[in-house]
Structure 1
Amino acid sequence: MDYIRLADDRGRANFGWLDSRHTFSFGHYYDAKHMGISALRVINDDRVRGGAGFDTHGHRDMEIISYVLDGALQHKDSTGNEFVIPAGDVQLMSAGSGIMHSEYNASANDPVHFLQIWIQPNMRGVKPGYQQATIKQHGKLTALVTPDGRDGSLSIRQDATLSRLELKAGESIELQVGSRSGYLHILSGQAHSGQQRLQGGDGVGLVRSDALVLQADTDMQALWFDLPEQAS
């Protein structure tokens, strides 16, 4: 393990309607030691109160993933897409040459909890795109986002794969990166790797190591990012 990011050490922004934890530097939160891993630039752990959300704003040349943990998110963008993203769904918006969008809590009363993830693309100025899917778990590790959209996954403009990891208490897995990079973000449950204990919101980055051996202490769920050695 080359990089440990504990949940309680993350940056925080609280605007009343939004309570956000920043794994990496974002917005008004800046820390030169936490700028991202390879092409992975943002993991924001966002909780938005009922009836609130992000007003229309723009992005370009970024692959933006939303993963809803609880509740539902309402998406609308300048290319005509308007969808609700329920818990468990994964959404990928390729900003490309430029796109305007808004994200609102789909409920007027209940909060929504989701991860906002930004991955730097390996091509710029391309046509914006939108994808969304419900992907059922198959085994311990299931691909959600891949470079080629294999097995029903969403297709990203980067040599990167995002997978959902699920382990039952007592199960273990070895995550290989070889000469590449990797990042593990714990969604729920508890686990350990060696002497390092991990729980929801914690993260582990691999930038020079070959593998991460993870043992689940309880039923757990995480996101695993297989990334290029460095951003292209």
Structure 2
Amino acid sequence: MADGLFPRERSEPAPGAVHVPGWLPFERQRELVAACREFGRGPAAYEHTVLPGGRVMSVRSLCLGRRWVPYRYLGPEENLLELPDWLVELGRAALADAYGTHDGAAGADGAAGTDGGPHGGFAPDTALVNFYADGAKMGMHQDREERSPAPVVSLSLGDTCVFRLGNTEDRGRPWTDLELASGDLLVFGGPSRLAYHGVPKVYAGSAEPALGLAGRLNITLRETGL
């Protein structure tokens, strides 16, 4: 785990994937932690997802906006929680900063020259909030239920984790392991949009105590295209 001796640098671990360490200022992180607590007060709660076959995921999750269940999105009438406009705008700002669309570098589908403003027209309509308590992890999987090719925008809060970014063919190697700390931004789109990915380890107790969070929160914003 990074010890803070050297600054963490922005990187592109795979084509279409961009890691921006410390993208969220600390006070903004605190605000997001508080918001995530409010999201879970109802009418939805953080729950362990039961997968087909009966396996129970170790993370606890809830959906904002379009609701995901394994392995599909429900109709809008099934939404339990609204996706706030401020979170949509945060996702758009994250995408613009990661891909540099204000310089014409890439758009919401990872392609150069896309119209739609600095965020490339990114219009997320769902957010999955995952909470990792001590010992929780996420197996390798693809985010493939969306019809839109727009990138996934991921924000990390709390404990540092190992994020494994794999290939698009299967769950095996090659893969790249990244450390995602509180405040980090990760965007993956273009050639990496359907890359297998997972979280094999979370470093319990690694978050700054002043954040007021024991565990890890991850917010992923997606455009379903439904």
The two structures have a TM-score, normalised by structure 2, of 0.42
The two structures have a TM-score, normalised by structure 1, of 0.41
Give the strand-richer structure, 1 or 2: 1
Flag the structure with more relative contact order, 1 or 2, with Cα contacts below 8 A and sequence separation at least 6: 2
